[in-house]
Amino acid sequence: DWSSDVCSSDLSGKNLHRNWLSIPHVTQHDLADISEMEALRQANKGQAADKGYKLTPLVFLIKACVAALQEFPQFNASMDKDGQHLILKKYYHIGIAVDTPDGLVVPAIRDCDRKSIPELGRELSEVSQRARDKKLTPQDWQGASFTISSLGGIGGTSFTPIINAPEVAILGVGRAAVQPVWDGEVFRPHTLLPLALSYDHRVVNGGDGGRFLTELTSLLGDVKRMVM
Ligand code: CAO
């Protein structure tokens, strides 16, 4: 289990290598129109900072992923040890890849379905700080049911995230950018977020991969539906 024993770049390298070789990955790409979400985020980020947390796109992404996972339970699952059975999880613990000076760690934010955007924002700030201070406990890095790897704060459009076994899917997030979108009459500026979903092709077929990512982009494009 990658998430349970990653505590140095050596170990994470070994596990990434094993997962890359043993899981047949397919990566599906899409762009989410987050113009509305960005407007909401910009309007509220000052207030969030006053309350002690950072309102980044990742906080909304956790929320949207939970909603999509509830609709597509085979993505919120793990393979058993012999690779024969799929275990569907009834909880939504989202692993977050955190870059630290000592390498990659993946703490899980637990029960994301029961947490509000401010609660998730606070927990994300707190857990990533503890990861960088090497203060994660075994409880922090165990039991994720789905992982998000966000490079959006760093840059880049798209990349191929490696599945965090025994999970069966991972979402990679690139950097959002304002781009011209044709509305049938004129080009208008929209904020588009690049997403890359890698899934285990033994568990998820291409149609379901496409449907999951389409649902996720649709949720991110409709803030009311996402947060309600
Ligand atoms: N598009 C555009 N801007 C983005 C963005 C995106 N997708 N995601 C974040 N940003 C912005 C944030 O809004 C923030 O801007 P301000 O400082 O102006 O508010 C800035 O980028 C930095 O964000 P952050 O990195 O502090 O916060 P986060 O919630 O996005 O990420 C964490 C938290 C822990 C994931 C991050 O600190 C980190 O470690 N990222 C690296 C992850 C990594 O290396 N993954 C490994 C990949 S290999 O599988």
* pLDDT for the residue numbered 138: 86
Residue 213 corresponds to which tokens in the numbers above?
A: 């990512």
* pLDDT for the residue numbered 13: 84
The amino acid sitting at 169 is A
Among 38, 56, 197, the mutation site with the greatest number of ligand 1 atoms within 8 A of its Cβ is 56
Among 58, 157, 216, the mutation site with the greatest number of ligand 1 atoms within 8 A of its Cβ is 58
* pLDDT for the residue numbered 10: 60
Pocket of ligand 1 (CB under 6 A): 54, 56-58, 96-99, 104, 124, 128, 149-153, 161, 173, 175-176, 193
Q: Which residues are catalytic?
A: 201
The Cα 164–Cα 162 span in angstroms is: 6
* pLDDT for the residue numbered 200: 97
The Cα 68–Cα 78 span in angstroms is: 17
| Residue-by-residue pLDDT tens, the chain, 228 positions | 444 444 445 667 888 999 999 999 999 999 999 999 999 999 999 999 999 899 999 999 999 999 999 999 999 999 888 878 999 999 999 999 998 888 889 999 999 999 999 999 999 999 999 999 999 998 888 899 999 999 999 999 999 999 999 999 999 999 999 999 999 999 999 999 999 999 999 999 999 999 999 999 999 999 888 777
* pLDDT for the residue numbered 11: 67
How close is the Cα of 197 to the center of ligand 1, in Å?
17
Whose CA is closest to atom 35 on ligand 1? 98
Who's near 86: CB < 8 A, 6+ residues apart?
A: 74, 77, 78, 79, 80, 168, 203
